[in-house]
Structure 1
Amino acid sequence: MSISIAALDLNLLLMLHTVLSERSVARAAERLHVTPSAISNGLARLRSALGDPLVTRNGRGIVPTPRATALAPAIARAMRELELAIHEAPFDPTRCKRTFTLAVADAGQLTWVPRIAALMTEEMPNARLSVIGIASLVSLGDLTSSHIDLHIGLAGKGAGLHIEPLLEERTILVARGDHPAHGKRLSARALGALRHVGVEMVPGKGFRDLVGAAYARAGIPREVAMTVPSFTTAAAVVAETDLVATLPESLVAAQGTRLGVRPVNAPLPAHTVKISLCWHERTHTDPAAQWFRGLVRRAVLAA
């Protein structure tokens, strides 16, 4: 007799497993917190579904049929595996072998990712890290995708998003090391006369020009001579031209000398960027994802 598992009440298999373990309907009923008649009715339904008596009475106990004896090991194994799956062991970061995908702009890749990698090597030595740029993320709605675990950057809006404010990143104006702007404090007029490299990570995707908005509020002109998709590209252009760029202060502090740029002493409009950790509801309670978020938080906030 053939029967589809989809048509079978799986609670009946638990009932049979308990009856076979206890060798008693009464003890099985007590263990499952049901009445003996409920056990008898369940066994009757399972007999009908499988076309076999399954158990017969022997005094106050029961004796399994050959069919029940054959089913018993498979049912017991399935029950053990379900128990293990439901009551999982405490998360051990040293044994975690998952790949975690982190979305972060190139400035964060230079300043934060090395610290994240160092902590992962120490705390999660068997896990892997996959870093993607903001251009690959496109929008925070992509966090619903199964392959992105965490985003560091501007907070977004969307169903199921969790936002945790992390820090405020100040921006500074930079120019090449021997730029004429160095060595003196520029006036607002002199600042307005400079030509800029703008950073536009995802053209045409509605990302706000926060730097341009700050200049506009201060009433200072800002001529953008060219746009590039990353802060490091902007720094490379600035290092070879008379153009200037507004970059995250942490990037300049960590990599400015190597990138060939220095801060310009100018009345730059006050502008800070609020950096947050962003993740989706689907990973909110996952122990491995929780550990990873804590690790990233500590790495980013490390002095």
Structure 2
Amino acid sequence: MSLAALDLNLLLVLDTVLAERSVVRAARRLHVTPSAISNSLARLRAALGDPLITRSGRGIVPTPRAAELAPVLARALRDLDHAVHGAAFEPATTTRQFSLAIADAGQVVRLPRLATLMAAEMPRASLRVVGIDTLLTGGGLASTEVDVAVGVGEKAPGMHLEPLFRERTVLVARRDHPQAGDRVSKSVLAGLRHVEVQVAPGKGYRELPGAYARLGIARDVALIVPNFSAAAAVVADTELVATLPASLVARLGPRFGLRIVQSPVPPLTITINLWWHERTAADPAMIAFRDLIRRAGARGRSDV
């Protein structure tokens, strides 16, 4: 007999009859009539060439062939049900690895809180963190390399995006900078040289040159670096200045000896988003992971 020629619903009927040890109870559980159960069993007997069950008093007894099939059927149907409906997600026992793309400022400021939440609520899970550049070169969230991203990402087909927190920028210089005190004039600002951070596509820090241009200041960029932490380290040891996230400066400024400089250029306020792909939208594990990220990022709302 070919498996392709067998109606697999008949196996579900047999599994239920063997579990209930009663045609009537099996019919009640499957929401059909007892005669429908009997007809299904007759078809399966003909297909398998075995009586499968015999009556004994008010119940039934499986034949040796049916007894052999019983545990295999139960396991196969259970696995199929998990495959179709998804296994229940248990945060406390999951060993799943989650992946997050986030810029270095977020790694410094937000990641410790996220790690603490994961240790408390998903103690056996692991977390892989990559930068935004890695996300982009790896094919974005449509690939299977990264589950969730936190950044300035913009809405695109197949993407889900929600505002997570807002970040304010500050201009910083080293504490003993010879020209940049606590406040600088337009003319002093025009004479300073800058470290620029190249960030991922999107608005945000790309608006900075325009903010200077509107004041008639030609921003003099001496150095371009790929992340905010590198900019902070350079500013700490040179006479260059940089525009950085306020939350990062609050964390690293005292350690690096940085000073916030008030300038005529108004600070930028940048919305940092949580974004994910449609492919992970309904996954219970990912829903729980995104909730942890929201709670870890909620503290960022006070940075504005």
Shorter-chain TM range is 0.7 to 0.9
- The match for 1:225 is 222
Give how far 1:60 is off: 7.9
Query: Could you say if the C-alpha distance between residues 29 and 107 of structure 1 is closer, same or farther in structure 2, counting changes exceeding 3 Å?
Result: same
- Asked if structure 2 preserves the Cα contact closer than 8 Å seen for 1:182 and 1:265, the reply is no
1:238-296 C-alpha deviation (Å, 9 max, x unpaired): 22222211110111111012233222221123411101111223333333323322222
Determine what percentage of the aligned residue pairs are the same residue.
58
- Asked if residue 265 in structure 1 is aligned to residue 262 in structure 2, the reply is yes
2:111 maps to which residue?
113
What does the per-residue CA deviation read over 1:36-58, in whole Å, with 9 as the maximum and x for residues that have no partner?
44334433443454344434677
Which residue number in structure 2 is paired with residue 297 of structure 1? 294
Secondary structure, counterpart of 1:94 in structure 2: coil
TM-score after normalising by structure 1:
0.83
Query: Does the aligned pair in 1 maintain the 2:170–2:267 contact within 8 Å?
Result: no
Change (3 A) 1:270 1:132: same
Q: In the alignment, is the contact (CA less than 8 A) between 2:153 and 2:202 conserved in 1? A: no
Q: Among residues 144, 149, 161, which one is paired with 1:151 in the alignment?
A: 149
- 1:33 pairs with 2:31: yes
Alpha carbons of structure 1 residues 139 and 154: separation in structure 2 relative to 1, 3 Å: farther
1:255 counterpart residue number: 252
Identify unmatched segments of 5+ residues in structure 2.
none
Q: Partner amino acid for 2:197?
A: V
Q: Check 1:272–1:218 CA distance in 2 against 1; reply closer, same or farther (3 A cut).
A: farther
The separation in 1 between residues aligned to 2:86 and 2:117, in whole angstroms, is: 29
Q: Indicate how the Cα distance of structure 1 residues 69 and 127 shifts in structure 2: closer, same or farther if over 3 A, else same.
A: closer
1:21 & 1:183 partners in 2: Cα distance?
Answer: 81
- The equivalent position to 1:101 in structure 2, one of 99, 102, 105, is 99
Distance across 2 between alignment mates of 1:92 and 1:272: 38
Structure 2 match to 1:73: 71
Aligned to 2:92, what secondary structure does the other structure show? helix
Deviation at 1:182, TM superposition (A): 2.7
SS at match of 2:73: helix
Provide the C-alpha distance between the structure 2 equivalents of 1:287 and 1:187, rounded to a whole number of angstroms: 53
Report the counterpart of residue 287 of structure 1 in structure 2: 284
- Correspondences of 1:60-209 after superposition (within 5 Å): 64-80=62-78, 86=85, 91-138=89-136, 142-183=140-181, 185-201=183-199, 206-208=201-203, 209=206
Question: Which digits, 9 at most, give the CA deviation of each residue in 1:170-227, with x for residues without a partner?
Answer: 111112222223336322233233222111145xxx5552322333344432122221
Choose 234-243 or 37-46, whichever is displaced more.
Answer: 37-46
Query: Which residue is 1:10 aligned to?
Result: 8
- Asked whether the equivalents of residues 193 and 221 of structure 1 are also in contact (C-alpha less than 8 Å), the reply is no
Q: Which amino acid aligns with 1:78?
A: A
- C-alpha distance in structure 2 between counterparts of 1:7 and 1:110, whole Å: 60
Aligned pair in 2 of structure 1 residues 112, 26: CA closer, same or farther (>3 Å)? closer
Cα drift, residue 139 of structure 1: 7.3
Q: Which amino acid aligns with 1:225?
A: A
Does the Cα contact within 8 Å between 1:174 and 1:261 map onto a contact in 2?
yes
Name the amino acid aligned to 2:195: V
Q: How many residues align?
A: 297
